[in-house]
Amino acid sequence: MFGRTRRNAAGRGRTTSFAAAALAAVLALAGCGGDGGSDDGSEVEVFSWWTGPGEAEGLTALQALFEKQNPGTTFVNAAIAGGSGTQAKAVLSSRLQNRKPPDSFQGHAGAELLDYIKAGQIEPLDDFYDEHGLRDVYPKQLLDQITYKGGIYSVPVNVHRSNVLWYNPGVLEDAGVDGPPETIDAFIAALKAVDAETDKVPLSLGAQWTADHLLENVLLGSLGTEAYNALWRPGANWNTPQVGAALDDFAEIMKYTTAEAASTDWQGAAKAVVDGRAAFNIMGDWAYGYFVNPAPNGLAKKQGTDFDYAPAPGTDGTYMWLSDSFTLPENAPHRRGALAWLKTVSSKEGQDAFNPKKGSIPARTDGDKSLYKGYLEYAITEWNKPGIKLAGSFWHGVTANNKWHTDIDTAVGLFLQHRDPAKLRQALVRAAENSGQ
């Protein structure tokens, strides 16, 4: 049923002889290409962008567990360095187009995978979910948000929270702000107070994508969970008074951000809070590990003194989520090894081995809560709280396909120049209409 291809790592840039080129042409004509070797489960090549502190240790822990569970299988770590997977995704695209897929690759669960799905490059995993009882251990809301036309195409290994407000308690006290603001209106008032009463930056931002990240939080906080989620459904109307009011709020909030926002990435913006140079930063919960981990990879700061956290304004009771997941490519050279890998990453044992090191929480609802300390204890409790609402992060791959994602980013980039919420609204309406989703 499944074609085979010979595994060949991409990007090695070897010079091919005329004979090799001729052989490649013959293989291309053969359909799926190559004799494919054997699907005996002796090997699995796992493609990711986990090379940095925390994530690399998490992958190593998963690899160790996989090798323990599959002693006859060689694990090939095909991780490629690069912020947010930008370089890795380019290499992956080339490999898939040339019918040289890895056995499994990392991708954000949700709409980020639509291009692969529509191109027939990854398999649906519904039978895998049924075989391993995963529908009973992943939240139904999560499964609903990663299902496309009735099929599930990835296995989430973790969950990050996007809607976190990080703040400096001392700066808030100096500004006369009584704790973290719980609504968008209270947030704007707090920003004004910090601006008027202190010499600190009210809200720190980094590179342009952190403004996109802020936008999704303001949309969620202003519109509410149901209306926010509705924006990402086919035919959604972005040209409403409610969206207009949310973008007015976004424009007002942006008045109190750092002037040098484009000159630094998220780490610099987050560090401004724990260093006491800024009052607030809205960033995903990966910032927590950066704050508390020891040097040289962290800042060794103390929660409650140097920083604290709360849900982003207006979003309490909603978990804006994103998830790293793994896929099963069509024509995976070692399909049995790939399925064994997916079994490991979907298991309770696998997710509990990975996530405490990665600085995230398990996507499964039955994780061992005793392993998650500090903020992670709070996060896993929130994720498993009865009645918690879920909203997918558009910036981190859940709700918007790649074209829509790019068009929103372009609209935000132009807004950073003209600062006109009406023009931003028009651009976002066009982006939705042209999303092809």
Q: What is the CATH number of the domain that holds 226?
A: 3.40.190.10
Question: What residues make up the domain containing 215?
Answer: 161-320+392-433
Query: What is the rounded CA–CA span in Å between residue 292 and residue 387?
Result: 30
Last residue of a domain, one of 360, 381, 402: 381
pLDDT attached to residue 79: 95
Last residue of a domain, one of 346, 362, 381: 381
Q: Reply yes or no on whether the pLDDT at 17 is more than 50.
A: no
**Per-residue pLDDT tens for 311-329?**
999 999 999 999 999 999 9
- Domain check: are 316 and 328 in the same one? no
pLDDT attached to residue 263: 66
Residue 201 located in a structural domain: yes
User: CB within 8 A of 343, min separation 6: which ones?
Assistant: 69, 132
Residue 27 located in a structural domain: no
Residue 8 located in a structural domain: no
- Domain check: are 282 and 176 in the same one? yes
pLDDT attached to residue 154: 97
Pairing of strands 278-283, 201-203: parallel
- Look at the chain and report how many structural domains it folds into: 2
Residue 293 located in a structural domain: yes
pLDDT band at 375; cut points 50, 70, 90: very high
Last residue of a domain, one of 343, 362, 381: 381
- Domain check: are 266 and 377 in the same one? no
- Domain check: are 72 and 137 in the same one? yes
- Domain check: are 277 and 425 in the same one? yes
pLDDT band at 213; cut points 50, 70, 90: very high
- Domain check: are 172 and 281 in the same one? yes
Query: What is the rounded CA–CA span in Å between residue 274 and residue 309?
Result: 11
- Domain check: are 199 and 291 in the same one? yes
- Domain check: are 134 and 238 in the same one? no
Instruction: Read off the tokens for 4.
Output: 């085979």
Q: Report CA 275 to chain centroid distance, whole Å.
A: 26
- Domain check: are 115 and 70 in the same one? yes
Following DSSP, what letter does each residue of 167-187 receive, concatenated? E-HHHHHHTT--SS--SHHHH
Preceding amide of 296 cis, omega within 30: yes
- Domain check: are 124 and 266 in the same one? no
User: CB within 8 A of 90, min separation 6: which ones?
Assistant: none
- Domain check: are 168 and 312 in the same one? yes
The CA radius of gyration of the chain, in Å to the nearest whole number, is 23
Mean per-residue pLDDT of the chain: 89
Selected residue with higher pLDDT from 269 and 437: 269
Residue 24 located in a structural domain: no
Number of other CB atoms surrounding residue 20 within 10 Å:
11
Mean pLDDT for 227-232 is 97
DSSP 8-state symbol, 112: G
Instruction: Read off the tokens for 131.
Output: 């075989």
Residue 234 located in a structural domain: yes
**Per-residue pLDDT tens for 352-367?**
999 998 889 999 999 9
pLDDT band at 108; cut points 50, 70, 90: very high
pLDDT band at 54; cut points 50, 70, 90: confident
- Domain check: are 136 and 78 in the same one? yes
Selected residue with higher pLDDT from 277 and 83: 277
Rounding to the nearest 10 degrees, give the CA dihedral for residues 223, 225, 228, 234.
-140
CB 72 within 8 A of CB 42: yes
Residue 252 located in a structural domain: yes
Query: What is the rounded CA–CA span in Å between residue 168 and residue 239?
Result: 36
Give me the phi and psi of 324, to 5 degrees please.
Answer: -80, 135
Pairing of strands 201-203, 151-152: unpaired
Mean pLDDT for 170-177 is 98
Q: Which stretches does DSSP call E strand in 347-428? A: 389-392
Q: Which stretches does DSSP call E strand in 204-323? A: 278-283, 308-311, 318-322
Residue 49 located in a structural domain: yes
Nearest to 384 by CA among 141, 102, 201: 141
